[in-house]
């Protein structure tokens, strides 16, 4: 083992020892996988954004079938079933549920009449406390449950009128069903698929933003490493190194802090079972860590005061939450979002070509760090 390698390992060991002696740092590392596990457990429990009361006025039939299907399906809506219409309406009044859907008797007959006349008429009673955006979405869910039955009845009536009117063709219910099922599309009109060909895993709405939040957390960790480096400079810990060569220690500290953060990142994603492909995930994460290191070191060179770095961190967090596709996708000129490392990582999850952009970002960032550091210390 070479002398430089031995010195580097000793420095790495001592840096890790300094960091893990700080209870706050250890607590932050342990907190991330615990919070991820808690989010995953909460996502697995019965919960929903809106609670809907369901009531069926008949036993069996189409109404009962729709209710059973809604209750059995996974949804961001939570359903409570009531035996009578009065109980459902009372639950809306006292705030136990946000809305009540009351399915009538002989629902199939009413839908058949609607299909025959070609005119939409109300068939399900909806009781709501107040109208808002979430309940508008809920009504769309209700329509999606009733629509397949109406579509089939419309199809049946149309085919019967065209082929059965002359009496030459004997049509049976089995014939209708077989042909309808043979040409029926899937339940989802739109199926998200990654560009590499794998289907979307369909993450829970609670765990879907986790990658984005963890990538932002890694950037904050990198900026904390910059603060740590600045403090060592102020305390004279690096006085034995010429000022122009200290940047390698800044990168080394980034490697230690972000390396620990990357391990915790993988642990959190593994706890939630959202790792699609280990090899691709690891490549994307390593590129992300490299981009973050260059991004943070460059800011550390451009902003010499430790106070300036501290003021910049909350601003960066806000910008990353808003501009990176953590919760929402916002289209802005590339130059505005392109300086933030999480922007590339979150896109690389679905578009592998962005890994090439991350590699270019890393190379340009490393060159910029070395160039700015050389220019700054040459002038001083």
pLDDT tens by residue, 30-83: 878 777 777 666 655 545 568 888 888 777 778 888 888 888 877 778 888 888
* Per-residue model confidence (pLDDT) at position 292: 94
Q: Are 374 and 361 in contact (CB under 8 A)?
A: no
Q: Give alpha helix (H) positions in the chain.
A: 3-20, 23-44, 61-72, 85-93, 107-117, 133-163, 173-183, 210-235, 247-271, 278-302, 306-323, 334-337, 341-348, 354-379
| Same domain, yes or no: 147 and 244 | no
Read off the pLDDT of each residue in 296-312 and give the average, rounded to a whole number.
89
pLDDT tens digits, residue range 72-116?
877 778 888 888 888 888 888 888 888 888 888 888 888 887 777
User: From the CB of residue 146, how many other CB atoms can be counted at a distance below 10 Å?
Assistant: 18
User: Does residue 373 register a pLDDT over 60?
Assistant: yes
Same domain, 363 and 305: yes
Residues 257, 282, 324, 291: is their CA dihedral positive or negative?
A: positive
Q: Is residue 202 part of a domain?
A: no
The reply to whether 200 falls in a domain is no
Q: Quick one: 252 and 111 in the same domain?
A: no
pTM attached to this predicted model: 0.64
Please check the confidence at residue 245 and state whether its pLDDT lies above 60.
Answer: yes
Whole-number pLDDT of residue 207: 56
DSSP 8-state symbol, 200: P
Q: How far apart are CA 284 and CA 357, in angstroms?
A: 11
**Strand-pair partners of 56:** 103
Q: Compute the chain's Rg from CA coordinates.
A: 30
With cut-offs at 50, 70 and 90, classify the pLDDT of residue 314.
very high
- Do residues 338 and 223 both lie within one domain? yes
Pick the more confident residue, 201 or 85: 85
Residue 241 and residue 286: Cα distance in Å, rounded?
28
> Is 80:52 a contact under the CB 8 Å cutoff?
yes
Question: What angle, rounded to 10 degrees, do the helices at 3-20 and 23-44 form?
Answer: 70
Higher pLDDT, 191 or 5: 5
- Please check whether residues 54 and 85 belong to one and the same domain: yes
Which residue has better confidence, 130 or 86? Answer: 86
Evaluate whether residue 105 is within a structural domain. Answer: yes
The percent of residues above 70 in pLDDT, for the chain, comes to 79
Closest of 214, 246, 215 to residue 233, by C-alpha: 246
> Does residue 162 have a pLDDT over 90?
no
- Quick one: 213 and 351 in the same domain? yes
CB 306 within 8 Å of CB 227: yes
Residue 307 forms part of a structural domain: yes
Give CA–CA dist 56/136, Å, rounded. Answer: 21
Mean pLDDT estimate for the chain: 79
231: number of CA atoms within 13 Å, CB side?
8
Looking at the structure of the chain, the number of domains it has is 2
272 with 336, same domain? Answer: yes
Task: Name the DSSP class of 1.
Answer: -
Please give the backbone phi and psi of residue 52, each rounded to the nearest 5 degrees, phi first.
-120, 135
Confidence of residue 205 (pLDDT cuts 50, 70, 90): very low
Q: For residues 174 and 291, state if they share a domain.
A: no
Of 119, 150, 183, the residue at which a domain comes to its end is 183
Task: State yes or no: pLDDT of 288 exceeds 90.
Answer: yes
Which domain covers residue 293, as residue numbers? 8-43+207-379
Contact 284, 348 (CB under 8 A): yes
Contact status, residue 276 vs residue 201, Cβ threshold 8 Å: yes
CATH number at residue 123: 3.40.190.10
User: Are 55 and 84 a contacting pair, CB within 8 Å?
Assistant: yes
pLDDT of 296 higher than 90: yes
Mark whether 374 and 257 lie in a shared domain: yes
Distances (CA, A) of 112 to 130, 143, 153, 184, 220: 31, 16, 6, 19, 60
Whole-angstrom distance, CA of residue 7 vs CA of residue 126: 73
Look up residue 116 and give its two tokens: 């025959």
β-pair type (50-56, 99-103): parallel
Considering the domain architecture, whether residues 142 and 258 belong to the same structural domain is answered as no
The H-or-E segment that residue 56 falls in is strand 50-56
């Amino acid at each position: 083992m070479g002398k430089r390698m031995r010195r580097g390992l000793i420095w790495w060991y001592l840096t890790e020892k300094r960091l893990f002696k700080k209870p706050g740092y250890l607590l932050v590392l342990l907190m991330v996988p615990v919070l991820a596990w808690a989010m995953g457990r909460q996502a697995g429990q019965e919960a929903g954004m809106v609670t809907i009361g369901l009531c069926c006025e008949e036993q069996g039939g189409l109404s009962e079938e729709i209710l059973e299907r809604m209750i059995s399906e996974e949804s961001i809506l939570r359903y409570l079933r009531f035996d009578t219409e009065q109980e459902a309406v009372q639950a809306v009044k006292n705030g136990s549920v946000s809305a009540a859907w009351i399915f009538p008797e002989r629902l199939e007959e009413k839908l058949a009449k609607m299909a025959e006349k070609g005119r939409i008429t109300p068939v399900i009673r909806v009781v709501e406390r107040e109208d808002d955006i979430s309940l508008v979405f809920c009504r769309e869910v209700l329509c999606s449950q009733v629509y397949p039955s109406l579509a089939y009845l419309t199809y049946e009536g149309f085919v019967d009128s065209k082929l059965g009117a002359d009496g030459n063709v004997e049509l049976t219910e089995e014939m209708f069903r077989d042909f309808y099922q043979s040409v029926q599309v899937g339940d989802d009109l739109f199926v998200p698929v990654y560009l590499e060909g794998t289907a979307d895993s369909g993450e829970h709405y609670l765990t879907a933003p986790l990658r984005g939040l963890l990538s932002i957390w890694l950037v904050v960790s990198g900026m904390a490493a910059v603060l740590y480096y600045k403090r060592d400079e102020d305390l004279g810990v690096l006085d034995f190194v010429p000022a122009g060569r200290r940047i390698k220690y800044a990168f080394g500290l980034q490697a230690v802090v972000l390396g620990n953060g990357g391990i915790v990142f993988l642990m959190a994603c593994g706890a939630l079972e959202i790792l699609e492909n280990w090899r691709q995930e690891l490549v994307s994460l390593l590129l992300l860590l490299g981009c973050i290191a260059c991004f943070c070191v460059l800011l550390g060179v451009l902003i010499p005061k430790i106070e300036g770095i501290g003021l910049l961190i909350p601003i960066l967090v806000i910008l990353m939450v808003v501009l990176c596709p953590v919760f929402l996708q916002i289209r802005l000129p590339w130059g505005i979002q392109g300086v933030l490392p999480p922007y590339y990582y979150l896109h690389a999850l679905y578009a592998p070509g962005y890994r090439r952009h991350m590699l270019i970002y890393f190379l340009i960032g490393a060159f910029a760090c070395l160039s700015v550091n050389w220019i700054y210390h040459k002038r001083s």
